[in-house]
Structures are given as C-alpha cells and as structure tokens.
Structure 1
C-alpha cells in the first residue's frame, strides 16, 4: 500500500504546471507608449524608446522622461 501512495504523490507533482520560464503576465504598458516605439529590452519590463513624431531615441524609456518630452520638447502638433 505504501508504494501506491508514493506513486500517486509522484504523479500528482508531475501533473502540476511548471512555473519556470518567461512570465507573460504583468502590468500593462501605460498609454504614453502609444506615442513611442518600443525598442530592445534593457531589463524586466524596461525598454528602449523612440518618439513616433520626432524620432528622438532613449536607451531606457522611463515614463516621466517620456511624458516631459511630449509636453515640453517634442516638435509634434498633437499637444
């Protein structure tokens, strides 16, 4: 009987989904990214960025900097 219990425990653990690997979920990107092209990934959830209007690039697109660019420095007409 003990062998059957051990076998059932082994099959239960093998049937559980594996959580290793890339996590597809996470927080959605902010609406600011509608105005920027995402470039290469520089960290988990961090991307390079390029303005869709004046093509200014950033190695790491941080939201406050991107918002400031659109508000004060971009040459676009959608302000």
Structure 2
C-alpha cells in the first residue's frame, strides 16, 4: 500500500481517491495514518474521496458523507459536517 500511495502521490494530484486504505492496518497504525491524511488534506488543500465501511472512520475523516442506496446509481443520503 505504501509504495502504491507514494507513487500516485509523486505526480502531485489535486484529488485523491482512496478505497479502504486503512483496512488492513492495526489500530495504532490506522490512527496515525488517519491523522496524517487529515494533516495532508489541511496543509495541501487536497480533495479526498475515501471509501470505507467504518462509520467511525467516515465521521472522523469526512466533511461530507454519502451513503449508498439500494437503487443503482443513486445515493440514500448526504450528511455535511463543518470544515476541520
């Protein structure tokens, strides 16, 4: 994961798409990586789309959460949070 992330980040993208990036990590490393992601997002102004099954992770990292619907191509609900 680290080599793929660092290679993709080397081209200085404005948008990061992350699909379950912290799922295989232990709790301590996951927490450290989540905090690092928040710092990168804040200091570099990156837009991040994070896909996760963890409600706690979504609430901690997100400024907006979009929950999928059972209808194809639709979403059930969007919740916005104040900027961090």
Output the TM-score relative to the length of structure 2: 0.17
Task: State the structure with bigger RCO (CA 8 A, min sep 6), 1 or 2.
Answer: 2
The structure with the largest alpha-carbon Rg is 1
Structure whose residues are more often strand by fraction: 2
Output the TM-score relative to the length of structure 1: 0.18
